[in-house]
Amino acid sequence: MKLVVALVTAALGLSACGDTLDNTNHAALFALAPENVRADIQAADRHVLVVRHALKVSPDCNAMDCPLSPEGDLMVERLTALIGDTPVDRAFSSAACRTRLTAAAGGIEVVAHQAVDGYAVGCLDGETVDRVRADAYADVDAAETGWTLVGEHSNTSCLWMSAYAGPEAAHAAGCDGEGRLPEDAYGDIFWLYGTGEDWSLTVLPDAFSISG
């Protein structure tokens, strides 16, 4: 269903949205897109920005309600600024608080799905999340145009890359043999862009990192 097209590693980048995908909507990010794929990015009908959640309060904090650290909050601010004043069309995340807080950078209400299929626990007291990741995929597939921001984890980020650009592209983007990003990999944007059923993947290293 999804087709592997290409992988490019770059420093930063983005494009735009709307029915005709007016690229001026996210001009600040699009201007930083790698030149060798800029034309393809501009011509794409759909864009899915997959991001691992920003830094959490402690590396050992893995609970669903684990909050972001002050540094993580700054990362979200940076991601928000990169996306710009025009919200994305859709924002999805796992049900964990840290992924939701990161996906909120899209400027639109975040729709959560189960962190792991069959695990319906959310990060709010007593919350039950019925939506699964496949529902998020279906929403992307049903949209003919537009932008989606997705907040995920080190492993589930790789699920999106593999589903749309293919396992080889996901591996080239940094996902290991178990489908997981390096433990210290924070701040990258994994930018999927597609026309019809053809999808490409561009990695934007440290796009919203504050380490530099």
Please state the domain extents for the chain: 3-204
Question: What is the helix, strand, coil percentage profile of the chain, to 5?
Answer: 30, 25, 45
Question: What is the structure's pLDDT at 16?
Answer: 35
Question: Given a cut of 60, is residue 13 above it in pLDDT?
Answer: no
With contact defined as beta carbons under 8 Å apart, do 181 and 52 qualify?
Answer: yes
Cα separation of 140 and 134, whole Å? 10
Q: Of 82-86, 90-94, 134-138, which range is least confident?
A: 82-86
Cα separation of 31 and 54, whole Å? 24
Average pLDDT score over residue span 155-178: 97
What does CATH list as the number for 3-204? 3.40.50.1240
Token pair belonging to 47: 């864009």
Average pLDDT score over residue span 51-67: 96
- What's the DSSP call for residue 149? E
Cα separation of 21 and 45, whole Å? 7
Q: Which of 107, 1, 94 is CA-nearest to residue 51?
A: 94
Average pLDDT score over residue span 32-56: 91
Question: What is the structure's pLDDT at 206?
Answer: 92
68 band by pLDDT with thresholds 50, 70 and 90: very high
Average pLDDT score over residue span 28-57: 89
- What is the rounded average pLDDT for all residues in the chain? 88
* Full strand arrangement of the beta sheet holding 90-94: 3-9, 198-204, 189-195, 46-52, 146-152, 90-94, 110-113
